[in-house]
């Protein structure tokens, strides 16, 4: 499934996607890291919501009608938990063959390759295919752009 964060498009394996929610009331948790937007009520369970823009180091923008929360099922420390990811838009669900996933060139790329499984060609564009478990289980902000490492 592909989705937009800031100006960039990313893809995640649809097996990780639990459901998609409209932007709901999010309750802030005091002293939480900046990318932890808070928690929201998902039919009786408390779902933590991560602001993906902040997590990827993009500037925050105002919410649009397209803004939504993707509920992801991730595995952290051998436990499977639900996390909500606040994204700017969901684009589509598409099929990709294993061969379509090309490894990322390790030099000269803007992005930190740890969290990226590869790139997928959709139409004329290359979309970054994320390793969702890794992306949402770390505590650090993900340097999607390797700034200053040249």
Partner 1 sequence: MDTIHDKFIEEAKELLLDLEKALLELEQTPQDTKLIEQAFRAMHTLKGTSSMFGFVKVGNLTHDLETVYEFIRNGKTTFTPEIQHVTFSSVDLIHELLATNDELAAEDSPERYKNLIEEIKKLAGTLEDNIPAADQSSAVKIHEKTAQTYFISFRPKETLFSRGANPLYLIDDLYALGKCLVFPHFENIPALNLLEEHNCYLYWKALLVTTQDISAIKEIFIFVEDLCTLEVHAVAEGDLLASGDFTKAIDDIFKNKSPITLGAVTDSIRGEKTNAKGSDKTKKKVVVAKDNSISSIRVPSDKLDGVINIVSELITLQARLTLIAEKNSDPSLVTVTEDFEKLLRQLRDTSLGMCLIPVETLYTRFQRLVRDLSKDLHKDIKLITEGGDTELDKSIIENLSDPILHLLRNSIDHGIEDTATRVAKGKSKQGFVRLKSFYATGSVIITIQDDGKGMDSAKIKAKAVEKGLIQPDAILSDKEGLNLIFLPGFSTAEKVTEVSGRGVGMDVVRQKVEELRGEIDIESAVDKGTTITVRLPLSLSIIDGLLIKIGDTSFVLPLALVHKCYEINHEKLASAYSDLLIIEGEQIPYVNLRDEFALSGEAPAIEQAITMEYEGQKVAFIVDSIVGEYQAVLKPITNLYKGHGHDIVFGATIMGDGSIALVLDTNRIVKQHSNKILIKHY
Which range, of 60-68, 76-84, 92-100, 118-126, touches partner 1 by CB under 8 A?
A: 76-84
Q: Tokens at residue 2, please?
A: 């592909």
43 vs 149 by CB, closer to partner 1: 43
- Paired residues of 86 in beta bridges: 51, 69
Q: Tokens at residue 127, please?
A: 């979309």
Asked whether position 48 contacts partner 1 by CB under 8 A, the answer is: yes
Residue with tokens 């996390």: 83
Pairing of strands 45-51, 79-87: parallel
Binding mask 106-135 for partner 1 (x = CB under 8 A): ------------------------------
Asked whether position 36 contacts partner 1 by CB under 8 A, the answer is: yes
Contact criterion met (CB below 8 Å) for 52 and 87: yes
Asked whether position 61 contacts partner 1 by CB under 8 A, the answer is: no
**Nearest in space to 137 (alpha carbons), one of 110, 105, 118, 114:** 114
- Residue from 23, 82, 89, 90 that binds partner 1 (CB under 8 A)? 82
- Going by the DSSP 8-state scheme, the letter that residue 75 receives in this structure is E
The span from the CA of 15 to the CA of 23, in Å, is 22
Asked whether position 52 contacts partner 1 by CB under 8 A, the answer is: no
Which range, of 4-12, 13-21, 78-86, 110-118, touches partner 1 by CB under 8 A?
A: 78-86
Which residues lie near partner 1 (CB under 8 A)? 25, 27-33, 36, 39-41, 44-46, 48, 76, 81-83, 136-137, 139
């Amino acid at each position: 499934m592909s989705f937009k964060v800031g100006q960039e498009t990313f893809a995640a394996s649809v097996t990780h996607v639990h459901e998609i929610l409209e932007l709901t009331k999010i309750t802030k948790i005091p002293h939480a890291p900046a990318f932890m937007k808070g928690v929201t009520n998902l039919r009786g369970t408390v779902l933590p919501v991560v602001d993906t823009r902040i997590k990827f180091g993009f500037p925050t923008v105002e919410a649009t009608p397209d803004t939504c929360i993707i509920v992801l099922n991730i595995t952290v420390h051998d436990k499977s938990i639900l996390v909500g990811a606040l994204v700017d838009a969901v684009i589509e669900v598409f099929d990709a063959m294993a061969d379509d996933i090309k490894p990322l060139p390790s030099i000269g790329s803007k992005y930190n390759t740890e969290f990226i499984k590869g790139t997928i060609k959709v139409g004329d564009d290359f979309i970054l295919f994320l390793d969702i478990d890794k992306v949402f289980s770390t505590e650090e902000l993900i340097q999607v752009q390797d700034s200053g490492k040249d």
